[in-house]
Amino acid sequence: MADVNVTLNALRSTAGALTGATLVLHDISREKKVHATMTRYMAKEFAERVLTSGYAPATASVEVATVLFSDIRRFTTITEALAPQATVNMLNEYFGEMAGLVQRYGGALDKYIGDAVMAVFGTATPGAADADNAVSAAIEMIRQLGQLNLRRVGRGAQPIEISIGLATGEMAAGSVGSPDRMDYTVIGDSVNLAARLQGANQHYGTTILVAGATAERLASTFRLRRIDLVRVKGKETATEIFEVLDHFPEESLSMFKDAVPLFEEGVRLYRGRNWPGALTQFSAVLKIFPNDSPSWVYTDRCLYYRDHPPGDAWDGVWNMQTK
């Protein structure tokens, strides 16, 4: 069965009388097949731009958007005992769950990088809710992963843990590569920052970290905790980063109600070089959450600075040395 476009045109005499008609059938089966194939290998929004541009590279556009990076923790450890096909099956199951959530919240899947997912919210159809949609997608990814892990554990497989970083800012969206091989993607400082924040979760023991610019754009009420003021490798400007808490169970969220003000007061005292006062605050948090990793991170810092006070140039910024 073929897919066709049908065009019917009337034929008229010079006097305007109807004398006949022409019927044109245009077989578009190949075009539909190409479109369907491309949307399987790149985001639908990106595929539309590439197909519209024809053979010419798609023109780059500069948009304010939010980028989401997620990565599987200890991926090598999980897969070292698996056969290659089993690893592919695991990734396909995982990506299938995550891709649907990204698209449900209006995001475009930019690419898969090994076990990582890169998604963009706002380059195809920018809107005021892009940052909210990206954070909502991240929260649902963690929740959905919990359901996926129940199924995995039920069949004897190891559970999967992921970490997510989000950043918002100007970025260029367009074709990148050589004349023989092009890739449609987004490029900008915020893309790099999102990737760095995804990795920073390992340092802080967190799951979802967002940049200050993303937090500032949120219109919905999310539960955020101010974590740190950081300077990523290769950048001079520091940025506030926040932990998203909404993926935690309700019983934990009710406890965070008391813990977050104590933690943020501890951060304020830490930046003011009041190490004993900061330690008191973080100790109070740890009485509520004994395994709160960010509080342990700050406890270690305060103990170090108490015994080795920083110089006058210290500005409270934590320099991230790893990419």
Portion of the chain with pLDDT greater than 70, in percent: 81
Question: Which of residues 9 and 214 earns the better pLDDT score?
Answer: 214
pLDDT in the model for residue 4: 58
Burial class (CB in 10 A: 0-12, 13-18, 19+), 43: buried
Single out the residue in 203, 230, 247 at which a domain terminates.
Answer: 247
What residues pair up with 11 in beta bridges, in sequence order? 20
Residues 211 and 99 in one domain: yes
Reported pTM: 0.82
Residues 28 and 47 in one domain: no
The rounded distance, in Å, linking the Cα atoms of 53 and 132 is 31
The rounded distance, in Å, linking the Cα atoms of 108 and 125 is 10
The range of the structural domain enclosing residue 9 comes to 1-41
Residues 269 and 239 in one domain: no
Kindly indicate the confidence band of residue 19, based on its pLDDT and cuts at 50, 70 and 90. confident
- What is the amino acid identity at position 195? A
Strands 208-211 and 162-178: parallel
Q: Are 29 and 3 in contact (CB under 8 A)?
A: yes
Residues 91 and 199 in one domain: yes
What 214-219 contacts at long range (C-beta under 8 Å, 24+ apart), as own/partner pairs, is 214/66, 214/131, 214/134, 214/135, 214/166, 214/167, 214/168, 215/240, 215/242, 217/66, 217/130, 217/131, 217/132, 217/168, 218/131, 218/132, 218/135, 219/128, 219/129, 219/132
Portion of the chain with pLDDT greater than 90, in percent: 61
Kindly indicate the confidence band of residue 322, based on its pLDDT and cuts at 50, 70 and 90. low
**What CATH number is attached to the domain comprising 232?**
3.30.70.1230
Number of domains the chain is built from: 3
